[in-house]
């Protein structure tokens, strides 16, 4: 049975992932909210802080993977 292209549902595109700058801005905002209103906003601060750490770890891992790939490429040619 052939798919019917007229009945296909188009899903909306996923929203873009937040940038490091977006996360830094949000972290600063929640830091101020925690300072002003107390611990009610602390879970949000901690979540954004974890997201920033994860983003850095991913960036570092990508750099390590690329360096390893380049190293493997150069040793195979030798």
Give tens-digit pLDDT for 6-45: 778 888 898 898 999 999 999 999 999 999 999 999 999 9
Tokens of 76: 């195979």
pTM of the model: 0.68
Instruction: Assess contact for 35 and 50: CB atoms under 8 A.
Output: no
Residue 12 lies in a domain: no
Residue labelled with tokens 């905002």: 29
pLDDT value, residue 17:
87
Contact between 45 and 26 under an 8 Å Cβ cutoff? The reply is no
Angle (nearest 5°) at CA 7 between 15 and 4? 120
Residue 27 lies in a domain: yes
Residue 7's pLDDT is: 77
Full residue range of the structural domain in which residue 45 is found: 18-77
Residue 10: inside a domain: no
CA distance 66 to 30: 35
> Considering the domain boundaries, does residue 1 fall inside one?
no
Give me the mean pLDDT over the 47-67 stretch.
95
Number of domains the chain is built from: 1
pLDDT of residue 5: 65
């Amino acid at each position: 049975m052939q798919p019917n292209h007229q009945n296909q549902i188009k899903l909306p595109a996923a929203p873009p992932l937040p940038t490091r700058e977006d996360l830094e801005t949000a972290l600063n905002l929640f830091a101020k909210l925690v300072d002003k209103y107390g611990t009610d906003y602390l879970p949000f601060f901690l979540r954004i802080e974890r997201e920033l750490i994860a983003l850095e770890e991913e960036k570092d891992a990508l750099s390590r993977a690329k360096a390893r790939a380049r190293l493997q490429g150069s040793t195979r040619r030798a």
